[in-house]
Every structure is written in structure tokens, then in C-alpha cells.
Structure 1
């Protein structure tokens, strides 16, 4: 495997249909831009369609916009229905959108905002679209996690919505750990059913994007000041996602991140996640809980 995999290594994408959530800015924009430039039909699934339209106008290729608010299961269902009507098949679903370190808030369905947006919204969207991916050779579901899945991270089954107490960092860690648990359990189920669709995951390291906009000033200030040293541009941060989405050598259940020290910066390579992310019992329990909370059952 190349040690300096770049956007130039993305194979030709003509004939493929890709949905990228949160694609109007940052990592999602960088991911969608490369896929479109390589020939894919790309759908920017975004909460703000005006911002999505402006982002699409900056991209070359076949790019459309679909409204998607991951904080609302009704919106997720509406978006899935619209995508199903517009596209008879999908080749790639990139679960990229996310929020980080938000104050204590809930989604429209009453879920803690980070868990509801980062995990449950994408869980539901994937379940509602998966049957469009399953018949397609080479189709993939890529879910973007974070180095934050290791920081104060656990799945608090006794208080998933942080109703008793709230930690911005802990809630973010839970949501990003959930992304990985979901990916690994999805791949296990795909394999068990003999499906060719792959479930993979990626993380961007520490990238210079708008993701920290919700962080307290005490966190934002040093990040902004040290960004040139501590972070990498969104175009670099998107490479692990692009590799997980397009590299022919990738296997289901693999996780890609930057290859530099601490996985903070660098070219994408295969990495490992935290020990608890590989716990089968936790994966299966979270899956069952997620089905109950979203009302979405997967066709597996």
C-alpha cells in the first residue's frame, strides 16, 4: 500500500453515485469535490440548501443538493425518500456530517445533540438507503469518526442522552466511538449475509475546519492560534475518507487515518481504533438500541 496516497490516487468514478453528508464545507466539501472531479455523480446532503448550492457551484462535475437535517428523523426519512426517487442505485454513502463539543442541547427527537447527529442520524440514513447499495458491486458505506473516540469515550447505556449530567467532551467521544462500533457491526452483518457492500471508517486527524466552532472559547482560542502547527488543511484531512471510499485494496471493517505521529497529520494509512470499539457485545447492544431509538431496521 502506498505511503503517500493522495487525491491523484482516487480511481475513475464515472458511473458512480455518491452521497456525502455535511458536504457544503470542510471535510465533506473536500471529499465531495474530489469525487465529482473524478467523475462521480455527487449529492451534497446538507442541512442548509442555500449553502449547499453555493458549495455545488464551486465544484466541477455532476453535483446536486439534497436537504438533510440529521437532528430530525423526519428529515432523514424525507431525504432518504427523495434520494430513492432520484437514484435507482447508490455506490457510495459517506457519513461525514457532525457536530463537536456543543452545549447541552437535544435534537428534535429528544436525543443528545452530538449522539443524535453524529450517530443516530447516520444510522437511520444508512438503514433507509442500504438496499440501494447492496446490489452494486464495489459499493461502500464510509463513516467518519475521530481521534476523539479515545477521549473520555464510552457508550453510556444507562444514560445515553446525558440527562443526569453533561460533558461536551464525553458526549462527543461517545458519538465518535458509536460511529466505529456501528461500522464494525454493519460489516459483520454484511459479511454474514454474503453481501459485497463494504462498511469502512476513517478519521481526519486534526484538521483546520469549522468543527470546533461550538467549543468553549478556552478551547477555540489555542486551536485557532496553533492551527498552522497542530492541524492540516481540509483537503489533507479528507484523504483518509477518500481512501476508505475508493481504494480498491480496502477491506470491509478497516479504519483509515493520517499516518503521522499520533495520527494527527499526514497521508492516509490503515490504523486501529480503541480496544472498546472492537467489543462485539457493545457493538451488538448499540445496534439494537439504535434500531429502537430510530425505528429503522436494516435489510440484513
Structure 2
């Protein structure tokens, strides 16, 4: 198992590196340092989104590396996402073109719908989370998930992306899309870690030939304080993870990542610290035993670190 592949084949035949670099919540200079450290150590999968407002910074570093000959464009796997303000089918192509211009690329390798619920578009492309008077997110009056998907499929035909997928989608939403899709979603990117294992969703996606990509695979320790609770369980401090890490002489993060990739789940750990970025990539020289995988599987703590259910209340497309 230590010799496991560093890529996973998607349902359209394309290969995705099983470990990518997450880039949410990074300052410009931090992100440049992180990207250089990641590419230098061997990362080829970079995950971003329109909403992260950092595609231009990523584009700068990618061009720096491509133009210097340190990496070829075709060796990279670049992921970005359709913002929820651009889910009207008529806005989808324009939205990816904005992202591609910032990334300084002619195509991305994977384009995801960032979430299943459209937000009101007021004509301002920078107002990514429009608010109501009471401080909630302003949800668009019309929701046309299948129409949005058809517009996403055209992006493949136009050559603007190699693959399309979704993020934060429920089982029923993915099933509905797969029934009508010409280009099936290749992945569903969701929160997934030892305290939120997503077994049911993983199994349902697997039956449909759709992979799972885990964001927050080590429990998102660096997320903003306003998203944390005082006494919440911390995945990196779990005693089972600590015990296994001691046995292998590995970091707690490496055990958390190894567990997910042994389950066949793609991971996109986020870090801006070069040492941690390098460490997170060093998970191919050991493997967890069946017993250790079972011990982790039987962890009873349940904790979702990103609960957006209150943002959407009773919306029919709410997946949470």
C-alpha cells in the first residue's frame, strides 16, 4: 500500500493528483510563498475559487514557474469554482472567463459549482456574498441547478475546462445531475475528516463513479476564530491519531491525510507554512494497517466545522 498511486482516475479518464494545495484564507505574500514551496516539493494540484479572491496571485506564480521552465502547464492540475452569484446559466461562461484571465490560463483542469444555492447577482462581480437587511445571504429568486449544470457542460465542449464537478452537494442533487448529464461530475468537494467521515455520501458517489474531494481534511485548524467554538473537538489532537502518529514517527496531520487517501479520497490540505506544506506531501512512504483504519473508522465524535445550514434556512436546495 505504501506504493499507492499519487493520482486517481476520474470518470472521464483524466487523472487528478490525490493531494492538492488548498488556498483559502491566505494573504497575497503568504500564498506566493506557499505556492512556490508546494510546486518545488512536487504538488501539481492547486485548488482555488473565484470566491477566494486570490486567482490573480496564483496566476502570477504559475506563470513564473511555467515561463522559467520549472513546470509545464500540462503537468499542473488547476481547480477553480463558479461563485454562487454566477449560477444563472447565462453567467457561467463569462464567470470562468474572468477566472481564466486572472489565472493567466487558457483552461482549467477542473471547474466546480461552489455550492448548490444561487445568490442574488446585483451586477457587482466583487459582491460575492450579497446580504439581506438582517445580515443573511441574499438568495436568488430563481434556482435552476440542472440549467446551471448544462451551462457547465458547455465549458468542457468549449475547451475552457477539462472536467466539471460540484462542491457541497447532497446525494440527491448529484443523482439528479448524473441522470441528465452528458459530462458527469467527476468529483464532489466537501468537508471531510475523522469527525465528519462522509461515509454515506462517499458510497453514494462511488456508485455513480464520482470521487470525493475532502476540504478541511485535518480539521481546518487555521479557520477564522468566528467559525470556531470554545470547546470543540480538535482532529489534530485526537488520542487515536496521536497514538498512531507516535508509532510511525509521523505528524498528526500526516496520519489524518493518509487515512483519507487510503479510503480513496482526494485531499486538499491548506497551509502557508513551507515546512508543513512539505510534510503534508510526505504520506506515500508508509501505510496504515486495517486495524488502524478500523480504529479511526470507529471514532464516535461527530463534528462539522463548517455548518452553513443557518445561511439558507428552508431553501429546497439546501444540502446541509
Flag the structure with larger Rg.
2
Question: Which one has the bigger helix percentage?
Answer: 1
For normalisation by structure 1, the TM-score amounts to 0.38
For normalisation by structure 2, the TM-score amounts to 0.36
